[in-house]
Amino acid sequence: MASGHSGDNLGGQGESGEGQSFRELIQIPRWVVYAQALLLAITAGLFFMMGLLVSGLTSPTSADFNRTMDCRVYGAVAYRDDGDLKADRGAVVLILPASRKPNARSQGALVHPDSFQALDNEAIDRIHRLGGAVVRADENGQFEVTIDSNEVVGVPYQVLIVSKNGTQKDGSSLTKDQFASLAEFFSPVEDVIESRPFFWMELTADGERVDLPEVEF
C-alpha cells in the first residue's frame, strides 16, 4: 500500500510541473504577429521613401548636369627680347573642349599666328559651337574670351597658346597626347605650331571667371 501511495504522489507532482511550464509561456494571437510584421514593413518603407526624398533634394539632377553658363577667361602673354619682357601681340590662344569634338577638321594654318584669320574662319566657328574659343592677344599681350562653363560638374578644356613673336627653344615639341588632341580639330597639326614656341595646360570651367597664369616665352 505504501509503495502504491508513493507512486500516486510522484504522478501528481509530474502533472503539476507540466502545468506550471505551460502557464509560463506567453501566448500571442496570430493577428498580433501579423500586425507587427506589417508595422515593420511600413516603417521600413517610410525610411526608404525619406532617403529617396533627401537624395533627390541634395543630388544634382540631369538638368543641373546639362545647365551651362558663360565663363570669362582672362590671360596675358609676353616674350623676351634681348632680356626685355614685351607684350606678345598677336599670340593665338586656343581653348579646346576636351570632351567634345568637331565633325570635321580645319586647316591648321587658320589658327597659326602668321596666317590667322579673324573673320570667316571655319576653325573658330567650329570650336565656338562646341563651347570653346579662339582669340588673339592684343597690343598689351592680354586677352579675354567667353567659353561654356558648368558649376556642377565643370567643363574640361585644353588650352594652347602659340607665340607670335617669341623664339622657339631647342627640343620643344608636342607630346604624343597633345598631338592626338589637336589632331581631332586640325590637319595638319604641324601647321598650328610651325616653329613657334607654345604653352599647354588643362582647364576646368566651373564658374563665371577663370584667370590663366601669365605666359612668358
Domain boundaries, the chain: 2-59, 67-216
pTM equals 0.70
- Contacts of the segment 169-177: beta carbons below 8 A, 24+ positions apart: 169/197, 172/197, 172/198, 174/198, 174/200
Domain 67-216: CATH architecture, name and number where available: Sandwich (2.60)
Mean pLDDT of the chain: 84
pLDDT digits (tens, 9 = 90+) for 177-191: 999 999 999 999 999
